[in-house]
Amino acid sequence: MVHPDKRRPKKRERTRREPETGRRKRGRHDIQESSTRDPTPEREVKVEIPEELKKWLADDWDLVTRQKQVCINHVSRVHVSQRLSGDIFLSSCSGQMKEVCDGVREYFDAMLGAQLLYKFERPQYADMLEAHPDTPMAEIYGVEHLLRLFVRIGPMLSFTAMEEDSMSLLLSHMHTFLKYVAANQEMFTVEYDAAPQEYHRRMI
């Protein structure tokens, strides 16, 4: 007669160890994949916005997000591309400064639709794309929207592998440009007005 205990199935010795057996050392390939999935900034990069321009940014935010107003004079009389390429400010600048301005203009065109607009401005942006399909956004939007780029661009630059000297030079040029804008606020030419009811319905 078989003893009752011997009829019981033997416990799998690996059952309690299975979670541990799934572990393995992370190889180089795993580290590279993890780095791709969860990038970390190389350094903290902050673009210093002059106090005079911070006031413009605050007013811009209030007009669009709280008062529900939109810009009414697109195409801007002093658009971003004009300010970054044809301005007398650049006539005496070094080649490096002009390269920086070209890069800022490219960043602006690439980032405007995804990161530089408030939600309330998106229907108008769609209208701009339809009305000017072949026109860079830097030739439509004005300096008011360009300022938003300088608020956003610091964290983006944090993820670049740019050398410290090059980063310092880039920031120096950006700060020079922002100081120029602060000293010449007449370039803010965009006017705002309350959006019509039809525009509000498009937001629903």
Ordered structural domains, the chain, with CATH = 44-202 (1.10.274.30)
Q: Which of 20-29, 129-138, 183-192 is the least confident region?
A: 20-29
- Per residue in 97-137, pLDDT (tens digit) is 888 888 888 999 999 999 999 999 999 999 999 999 999 99
Q: Which long-range contacts (CB under 8 A, 24 or more apart) does 83-91 make?
A: 83/143, 83/146, 83/187, 84/138, 89/177, 89/180, 89/184
91 has a pLDDT exceeding 80: no
Region for residue 68 given its phi and psi (left: phi exceeds 0; alpha: psi -120 to 50; beta: otherwise): left
The stretch 165-179 carries a mean pLDDT of 91
Q: Structure pTM?
A: 0.72
Cis peptide before 75 (omega within 30 of 0): yes
Between 81-90, 95-104, 111-120, 190-199, the lowest mean confidence (pLDDT) is in 81-90
